[in-house]
Amino acid sequence: MYKEVECILVTDCLTGMANTAYATPTGIYYLTYKQSPAHLSKYDAYVTYWMPFNGGIGMHDAPWRKQFGGTIYETNGSHGCINLPVDVAREIYEHVAAGMPVICYYE
């Protein structure tokens, strides 16, 4: 995460499952809003920090996940959302506002 020109946060995350309809779409989006707490009704999941940027796709805490990063997304990814550790989601939530850009890409 960058604030102005300074990198303020680097973290592992879990994205949508690669090579499926659930892959996180790449592109430049804008944060729609933020909500705490939130109920993701499509999945009947409750999260503390919800930050949507592409319809029903967004960043959120995923306390049910024990690992983030690496190649997990290839076989056990999300349904498109960016899953984050709770403490990381909290920190991002504190720094974002509606309209901020979100850039999604794969290396």
Instruction: Report pLDDT digits (tens) over 7-49.
Output: 999 999 999 998 899 999 999 999 999 999 999 998 899 999 9
Category of 27 on φ-ψ map: left (φ > 0), alpha (ψ -120 to 50) or beta: left
Q: Give tens-digit pLDDT for 49-101.
A: 999 999 999 999 999 999 999 999 999 999 999 999 999 999 999 999 999 99
Q: What is the DSSP letter of 59?
A: E
